[in-house]
Chain A
Amino acid sequence: MASFILMAILFLSSEKGIAQDYSIKLGKYSQEELEMTECAFEPEATAIVLGEQGISFFTHGKLITEVKKRIKVFDSKATDYADISLTYYAGDNNKTQNITGLKAQVMNLVNGKEEITKLSKKDYFETDLGNGVKEIRFTFPNVKEGSIIEYEYDHYYDNITFLDGWQFQNEIPTLFSKYAIDIPEYLDYRFLGQGENFVVANQNRVQNNGKAEWTLTKLKSTRPEPYMNNYVDYLDKIEFQLAGYKDGNNNGIYKSVLSDWQKLADEIYSIDIFRSYFRNNGTFKDLAEKEIEGDTDREKAEFIYQMIKKDYTLNDELSFIPDQSIKKLVEEKVGSKTELNLLLIAMLRANGIEATPLLISSKGNGRSYLVQFPFVRQFNKLIVKANIESQEFFLDASNEYVPFGYLPLGYHVDGGFLIQEEGSHLTTINLEHKSGISQMVDISLENDSIKFGHTVRYIDYDAIRFMEQYNDIDEEKLAGMLEEEDIRVLDLEVNDLERKNNQIESTFSVNMPFEKTAELLLINPIMISRHDENPFKIDERVFPVDFNYVYRDSYIANIHIPEGYELDDYPEPISMSMPGGLAKFMYMPQEDTNNNMLRINIRYDLKSKLVQASNYAELKAFMEYMVNKIQEPVVLKKISS
């Protein structure tokens, strides 16, 4: 009894809190909305979403979301926010989704009087963007400082297995964003929320008889930032996946849908085209008979991997479900990333090597972590996990520069879903690597110039990055990149013979003329370094900094002091690290009087690939100091005779 009362009170109080403050009715404005001239929690904002709401309910086996949005323009700079596009997926049959009942209006206060201009049908322009995607675009007239623009529409969804749900943030700050869904008792959904603000709101959510409601308030604007092309992975949002339903044709017996990981795997295996890659069919037999070079399993696997990359062409299909059977793929030699990876699995298996498909959510797919239950829409890519000579390998055969055993940087995520015939589960992805840049610079005077003899070795992911960016490097290009006046680059050799260890070694020398008459000779020993300048320029940051992978750099410079000169001055030693040991930097000059030279030892370790926004200020300062320290010069002086 007591708990019943408690529940009733909770219900009442939340109803009071939410029903009154957070709802939108076109044309009805609160005094506060009328008077607002700036966003209290983001004063620089030029416009604000006063409120937006999505109310979802089911009818005739369809989902309808009634959407309303109200924006206030504070500044004429923000009039662009009056250009609206509503995108929806109409699908091939043109009825997967639809938008109806669009109403839009703009209100201006003229001499204290509300003056409303409504948009009419002729103001809405529908555009077919292709591939089943449609868009309605419109713009508001009479938009100026103080205008309140608002619109509403109904969004119909034919498919109710997966629901789009709601994304709470906007490009401009949002005063409140509310999402409600009314789920009938014969349907059962899993909720999947994400984002810092969402977690808080979820604790206060109103829930009653299948009705649930989330209201997030005072949301800051969201914008992309450098070293974070995947900020969408951190936004507040909620999605749904059907967990089960009561079957009306069968006495209302509950049927579960994708209730565990194996069910999800079974669902995927039940797709004929997918299964064609795992069957003992004719193609499989052909593949098994194909001649594969290599003595060990590892060698064979690598051979197969390279062969697929060489013989097959990639198309632009993006789904993690294949579009064509293995037979067609092998005949035409054109396929999607997914298909090439499935072929890799088939060929490995045909050669007795254990290989399994692995679904992941790549960076920028909107997920910063995986959900622990079989929520299929969190995944977007299919890669391969192979066990070779009792060692785990993660493979993607669809990327030109990524060698065997490595993954493209956008795939550096913590885990994935292993799709097996039995016992499918989430698994962690461990990428063993020793990425980094090691360089030796030997500096001496040669005739009229200073010669910088370089040996730069790029290891693992740095080797991949090097290949992606500089695969066509030559002496002229390198000279251009060094941004030094009047230098010449000689004897460049890029040696990727060691590709097996995934190392690339480039050797070259840089000749720089110098003034023979000058009293002082200034030498900047390091020309190549990971950061030419501090990538972080602004003061604040909202989302984490993502370096994609950890690394360890080591630069050594030997400066041979030429005849007629003496070592006059050089940078002071330093060793520093970021709080929590996220990164370390060391600069150690060492005079070697016996050999008449100066040796400078530089180490830079990044120990965490993700740096939280709360550590941003330290990171910025660390980078600043490091980048400048590396550029400090050594001073040689003419010996006065």
Chain B
Amino acid sequence: MINLFKWAFLACTFSFLTIENAVFAQNQKDITLFNSSIEKRLDISLNKDYEVLQTVKKKVTVLNKEGLKDGLITIFYNDLISIEDFSGVIRDISSDKTIDKLKLKDLNDISLIADYSVFEDSRLKYYELNAGKFPIEIEFEYTTKKKGNVTFPTWIPEGSPKQLVKKAELNLNYPESLGIRYLSKNIDQEVEVQKSEGMVSLHWELENLFTLSEDKAVEDSIAMVKIAPKAFSMEGYSSNLETWNGFGKWIYQLNQDKDQLPPEAKTKIKELTSGLETDIEKVQVLYRYLQENYRYVSIQLGLGGLMPMSATSVYEAKYGDCKGLSMFMNAMLKESGIKSYYTLVKAGSDEEDIDVEFPSNQFNHVILQVPIAKDTIWLECTSGSLPAGFLGDFTIDRHVLVINEDGGEIAKTPDYQSPVYNQIKNFSKIELLNQGSAKIQQNKEMTGLAAQKYLNAKHMLNENELQKHLYKDLDFSGAHIENYKLDVNTEELVPKATFFHESYLQQFYKSTSKRIIIQPKFQSIDTEDLQNRNMIWEENIEIFSPKKVTLESGEIDIDLSEDYFDYKKQQIFKDNLLKIARVVNFHFPKEVSEETISNTLKQIEKLDDQPIFLKK
């Protein structure tokens, strides 16, 4: 299957969910308060060589079948992280008998390479606890060593749902000369500090924590300690992370000289931009050239995947990942005399914004900032479908780190709140045929973020797949598309998609002996379509009956103004022709919950769904 929204991640997202789900997809009806209890301790030590040693100790008592998943051992490693030692033991608590002793070789070993990646060095050792008799105890301890201290693990004392955390402990040791910073969230306990012989030790300890809810907690409410370095170094590249600027300087070092282009590339760029006057024109032409000739390939090499491919190698291979493609675009612009800046972002349409107050590597993607005369534009270099200067919902409205000669500074990507970025206009002409069927001519016009789905579809799918996509998206009952035309316009800064189709609908209305009953079918919109909170959604429908009918349910004229939306609907009938004109204008506030959006949509559905009775 082709994934419509396949995007470029810089680093691998670390998730065990699939493993857990596959193995433990079982359900138990009996309600038990706890499935397991745990005592855990995490020791993190930074040494003078910028190495981070991490020792994890856990003792898990599993009380029932459901709790077995809490006995899962996972150790993540790659070319920078090595596993120093491991030992484990499984005990039958009732008889105090040792059932099994675990060594490193007893653990399974798999690659965590993403499906779309060509190369990525991330591996996982894991062990699944299996038992038929309870309670059972698994106790294990391991140490990993990481070269370089750019990132530290985050400490989350809470356990999994229905797990009792008897004790959770964090010890953080570091040389005073290197320093360390931390950000504790939702923990009201003071940290204990000890100093001796140039080393500092921080200690947190919490007891008796539990979550009974099975629902995933919101990040804001989870207790955690985030850790970041002051002085840091990795494979000879050093800087200080107390400020964003320090991190920027470090990235700038990694990118040094990556923007060189071979002579034939320079000739090509000259050829492409000759005769163009404005910077924006040049950006558009070069971006189009990038989109049409270079593709996204994920190859995570160099410094744990943080160092970009050089512009020259991207030019030669005609592919790159987000870092490489951004670097190459940056080099092309530089060649044409336009300055642009490599920018780190935490991408993802439902990702929370970074902690701006806590400089650290919180990013997973790279885009490009181009300040031009009047305005600043942003380029998503891994997209083959977006217009130059338009960011998808993957990277809008969030803080980013822009890298420049002096280091880096925090900036914000645009939020695209104005109506021009969020519009849907549909016009439908429907003729009623026999036995519930109808013929429809529909023109759908989507602007800005609303056009994204169609831009991607047009870009990625072949005719056949596109048709399947349209059927799914139209969601008409028993539709047969007779002909269609999908145009996307990416010439302007704001994209637009126009979709026209003529279709036969096997079941459009319901018929009783005396009446025709119509439940008008508007485009289905869900919370995902409203992630940007604002939208103007217009539907115009004309329904014509060749046979004589009268309108039984009456004409309508509604004009509503609610907290989150304005709603207008007019329904008039004349000479067997019913005209419906309806406009919704959504205006949700910034901190709106998904539930509120979903409830609002239901409210609108109710207003829309008033059945129309036509008497035969």
Contacts and interface: CB of A to CB of B under 8 A. Distances in A.
Interface stretch (A187-195, A374-382, A532-540): A532-540
B99 to A, nearest CB: 8
A318 B133 CA distance: 22
B462 interface: yes
Contacts of A625: 506-507
Contact of A316 (B128, B459, B602): B128
A333 to B, nearest CB: 2
B119 interface: yes
Contact of A538 (B113, B471, B552, B613): B471
Interface in A238-276: none
A9 interface: no
B236 interface: no
Interface string A513-539: 000000010100000000001100111
Interface string B102-134: 000000111101001111000100001011110
A313 B128 CA distance: 13
Contact of A570 (B68, B128, B462, B512): B512
A471 B130 contact: no
Nearest to A224: B1
A79 B318 CA distance: 11
A77 interface: yes
Contact of A129 (B111, B316, B613): B111
A130 interface: yes
B111 A130 contact: yes
B131 A83 contact: no
B203 interface: no
B611 interface: yes
B interface, size bucket: 35 or more
Contacts of B611: 522
A312 B134 CA distance: 11
Given A139-B118, A520-B613, A44 B462 contact: yes
A interface, size bucket: 35 or more
B225 interface: no
A332 to B, nearest CB: 6
Nearest to A134: B111
A444 B252 CA distance: 74
A631 B510 contact: yes
A76 interface: yes
Nearest to B602: A485
B485 interface: no
A315 B108 CA distance: 14
Interface in B1-47: 1-2, 22-23, 26-27, 29
B7 to A, nearest CB: 13
Nearest to A623: B478
B319 A334 contact: no
B118 A138 contact: yes
B317 interface: yes
Contact of A539 (B111, B459, B480): B480
B209 interface: no
Interface in B226-269: none
Interface string B576-609: 0000000000000000000000000010011000
A45 B111 contact: no
Interface in A177-198: none
Contact of B464 (A44, A83, A315, A627): A44
Given A129-B111, A316-B22, A569-B513, A143 B118 contact: no
A364 interface: no
Interface string A58-86: 00000000000000000111111011000
Nearest to A519: B552
Interface string A330-368: 001110000000000000000000000000000000000
A43 B463 CA distance: 9
Contacts of B506: 621, 624-625
B462 A77 contact: yes
A78 B2 CA distance: 10
A127 B317 CA distance: 22
A534 B111 contact: no
B302 to A, nearest CB: 13
B387 interface: no
Interface stretch (B139-147, B291-299, B353-361, B391-399): B291-299
Contact of A139 (B23, B131, B319): B319
Contacts of B130: 313, 315, 334
Contact of B512 (A128, A143, A311, A632): A632
Contacts, number: 154
A129 B606 CA distance: 51
B488 to A, nearest CB: 13
A127 B111 contact: yes
A144 B295 CA distance: 9
Contact of A628 (B108, B510, B553): B510
A127 B119 CA distance: 8
Given A138-B118, A628-B510, A534 B477 contact: yes
A544 interface: no
Interface in B42-87: 65, 68
Contacts of A144: 293, 318
Nearest to B128: A316
B472 A537 contact: yes
A223 B606 CA distance: 38
Nearest to B471: A537
A553 B468 CA distance: 30
Nearest to A620: B478
Contacts of B2: 80
Contacts of B552: 520
A635 B471 contact: no
Contacts of A631: 510
A76 B384 contact: yes
B514 interface: yes
A236 to B, nearest CB: 20
A114 interface: no
Contacts of A522: 517, 611
A572 B512 contact: yes
B438 to A, nearest CB: 12
A77 B460 contact: yes
Contacts of B29: 471-472
Interface string A110-135: 00000000000000010111110001
B479 interface: yes
A293 interface: no
Interface string B398-416: 0000000000000000000
B515 interface: yes
A46 interface: yes
B436 to A, nearest CB: 6
Nearest to B109: A130
Contacts of B131: 313, 332-334
B461 interface: yes
Contact of B295 (A79, A131, A135, A635): A79
B108 A571 contact: no
A316 B436 CA distance: 51
Contact of B292 (A76, A141, A568): A76
Nearest to A571: B512
A539 B131 CA distance: 50
18 contacts: A75-B462, A77-B460, A77-B462, A80-B2, A127-B113, A130-B110, A224-B1, A313-B130, A315-B130, A334-B130, A472-B29, A485-B605, A537-B472, A625-B507, A628-B478, A631-B510, A632-B510, A632-B512
Question: Which are the 10 A-B pairs with shortest beta-carbon distances?
Answer: A333-B132, A130-B110, A624-B478, A44-B463, A141-B317, A628-B507, A125-B119, A44-B464, A569-B512, A334-B130
Given A127-B119, A570-B513, 12 more contacts: A77-B459, A127-B113, A128-B123, A137-B118, A139-B319, A141-B316, A334-B131, A471-B29, A538-B468, A569-B513, A572-B511, A624-B477
Interface of B: 1-2, 22-23, 26-27, 29, 65, 68, 108-111, 113, 116-119, 123, 128, 130-133, 292-293, 295, 297, 299, 316-319, 384, 436, 459-465, 467-468, 471-472, 477-480, 506-507, 510-515, 517, 552-553, 602, 605-606, 611, 613
